[in-house]
Amino acid sequence: MKSKHSNGKMSAAARIEAVEIDLTSKRICVTGGAGFLGSFLVQSLRDAGCTDVFVVEHSDYDLTKESDVKRLFEDARPEVLFHLAAVVGGIGANQENPGSFFYANAVMGIQLLEYARRFAVEKSIVIGTVCSYPNLAPIPFREESLWDGYPEVTNAPYGIAKKILLVQCQAYREQYGMNAVYLLPGNIYGPRDNFDPASSHVIPAMIRNMLEAKARKKSEIVCWGDGSPTREFLYVEDAAKGIVKAAQRYEGAAPVNLGSGEEISIKDLAELVAQLCEFQGKIVWDASKPNGQPRRKLDTTRAERYFGFRAETPLRRGLDATIAWYKGLSAVSA
């Protein structure tokens, strides 16, 4: 017999109607708050009137060390915890670091949730990943499918490390009454993304490659795989707003997708990025490199129903903003 939460189905506990909480009166702690998504979340919280926001930086706290996690809670004394800190990367980075990605992401989350329990944090919002879904989950990905298979092998250790935090959230809710919610965002992109060629995801990698190829008058660029996989992309500002809405309005045990609901093939994405970057060279596909998961598209019904979230930024507009930001960064760095 399956656990009432194990397959992501909405139990009675998950269907609780939340009374909107006033975040402006709370002491808030954001792990990963100086990072890509975290910096936008901190800004969204401040835009919403939150003034007591403790931003956790890796240089101050190594969240893989229990002593640092304990010190963090002693310093911040949070009433609301957002856990965004993660060790992430594209397909290549995941292939090169499966063990360290698994360990760091699992141990950070497990320790943070345990200390959130010990310090009686009122609400914890944990950010998972679309990489946790089974490799061949039916499209669109519904939260009920989360446990119906093994993730795509190139990022499975990372995806599983993040998914075990859902189990912890639900287990602690059941045993200790802990108010912990778990969100599953799609592929996030936007200004301030990671453009490091060794660890970047597909959109920043394409933007950097195409702009550099254009500047150097190269006739072609090489992209991994055959271009056939599909992805759903969520603009970072939309993701941050969705996380804030969930913190304000959602009290359920069941995981919730955050996405745009729009699916695009990697081939079509490359052509769109090339157009926006004004790169007129040839796009060569290296089929010897892995494609990753065949398709990704999220069912976003639950987020809209339970806390009124719907993504607002079309892909083209978000790409324009991301390209403009990177061009500005490149100009400053030159």
Q: Which residues are catalytic?
A: 158
- The vertex-231 CA angle with 228 and 237, nearest 5°, equals 150
Of 216, 204, 202, nearest in space to 289 by CA: 202
Enter the tokens of residue 72: 């963090």
Cβ-based neighbours of 215, under 8 Å, separated by 6 or more? none
Cβ-based neighbours of 97, under 8 Å, separated by 6 or more? 87, 89
Enter the tokens of residue 286: 């290296």
Strand partners, 234: 188
Backbone phi, psi, residue 147, to 5°: -105, 15
Alpha-carbon dihedral 116, 64, 202, 238, rounded to 10 degrees: 20
326 sits in which H/E element? helix 315-333
What secondary structure does DSSP assign to 146-173, as a single string? TTSSPBPGGGHHHHHHHHHHHHHHHHHH
Label residue 334 exposed, middle or buried (CB < 10 Å: 0-12, 13-18, 19+): exposed
188 sits in which H/E element? strand 187-189
190: left (phi over 0), alpha (psi -120 to 50) or beta: left
